[in-house]
Amino acid sequence: MQQSEVNPEAGFDLAVIGSGPGGYEAALHGARHGMKVCLVEKGSLGGVCVNWGCIPTKALLRSAEVYELVRNPASFGVNATEVSFDLAQAVKRSRNVALKSSKAVEYMLRKAGVEVRQGEALLTGGAGLEVLGADGSRKAITARNIIVATGSQPRVILGLKPDGKRIITSREALIMKEVPASMIVVGGGAIGVEMAWFYAKAGSKVTIVEMMSRILPAEEAEISEALKRSFEKAGITVLCGARLDNVQRNEAGVGAEIIIEGQEPQRVEAECVLVAVGVTGAIENLGLEEAGVVTERGFISTDALCRTSVPGIYAIGDVRGGMLLAHKASAEAAIAIEAIAGGSPEPLSEPLIPRCVYAQPSVASVGLTEEVALKLGHKVKVGRSLFAASGKANAFGQLEGFVKLVFDAENSRMLGGHLIGHDAVELIGELGLACRFGLSASEIVGTVHAHPTLSETIRDAAFNAVSPA
């Protein structure tokens, strides 16, 4: 029987809807500002990122990396026999990593005094919202300010509606019990690339189908091409400027035609198709329209300080649009809380948000690509350096990739940094600082980098930029 509580729970300074990286960070920031905070979450704490996205994905990728290493140990002086990949065990480990991360979020919220309400949130207008429990209960809450941080959900494209078995999303890909013999990955963005790499290393015959002219189309063309070559060397088929058509499910899996302009259609068969064509904001069933919150193209409209069209209601993270990244959501959480607290936070600059793809070689970038910098009217100076020249990379046996740094030719200030290489994502912090504070190539060169480290390759690229042509 549905229960209803008519007397609202009053006195909250802040109610946060969603507990992903944006939501729980907003709740913690609010608590640190002395606010009485309520957080509403319908699923496990940590949101999609912790439970079904960033964290379990990286755990699986690590399993594939270990498997790849022990399959080829002889050159390191290690003898190993009868090596096999146990997907069920890898998935079990990844789920345990996700659970531990979720528990860590729970601990931080409890320690900060944040009150967690389990259920679905519904905006009721003004400062009100209701929490709809799984048991049918309805509890009213009032708060001076509300932050919507409900994240995103996968896009569905015509003819490729997921069924959880033959046509799947990344969520199903994270909990498969057996490695499929073959897989078609639709989408060459970060999610598609990471899942393609994982399942190829686990033993699947993988084909990536990307509609754009190259995979990772937002990255430097040189980096996209380098990753494509690396994938093809690893046995992954990469088809760009392509799409699936005439998709049919059958007992063996999925049959389809790959359409590439100017070529005859290719008939392909695979055990499953993974749809990774991006996401849209999770804005349904929140009562946004009734509350007067303006949305556009699947996302909540906000200003630079994350304020929606309704005073006292904010939106952060994927639901706000722009770059759909966990660390962007966390940064916006701080901005929204500072605005609520009466401060004047600095708006987020999207070019300064680092972008990372965690296959191996991994890809990381921040700032402007050379192409964008030229379009914006900059005269550019580019510095490059190969990881093959790095003593550390040679010691680790990981020689793929390079660093590309883009500088303003007139003042030598850094405009963008781009890397592809083994664990290149771990180097992006230095480039983020260099871009934010406009460091020159000479200042990077003049900064002592420890030896032997992969970070020396950044210094070498900067040195290449200041060296005479």
Quick one: which of 209, 208, 202 has its CA closest to 180? 202
Residue pair 88/179 in contact (Cβ under 8 Å)? The answer is: no
CB 420 within 8 A of CB 223: yes
Phi (first) and psi of residue 244, to 5 degrees? -90, 145
Q: Which are the contacts of 337, defined by CB distance < 8 A and separation ≥ 6?
A: 14, 26, 29, 30, 33
What number of residues does the chain have?
A: 469
Structure tokens at 346: 């600095």
What would the two tokens of residue 241 be?
A: 């400027």
From CA 295, how far away is CA 272, in angstroms rounded?
Answer: 35
- Whether the CB-CB separation of 280 and 155 falls below 8 Å is answered with yes
Q: Taking each helix axis from N to C terminus, what angle separates 87-112 and 21-32, rounded to the nearest 10 degrees?
A: 20
From CA 363, how far away is CA 435, in angstroms rounded?
A: 17
* Total Cβ atoms within 10 A of residue 134: 9
Q: Which of 327, 422, 449, 451 is catalytic?
A: 451
CA gap 401, 416 in Å, rounded: 17
Active site residue 451: yes
Active site residues: 451
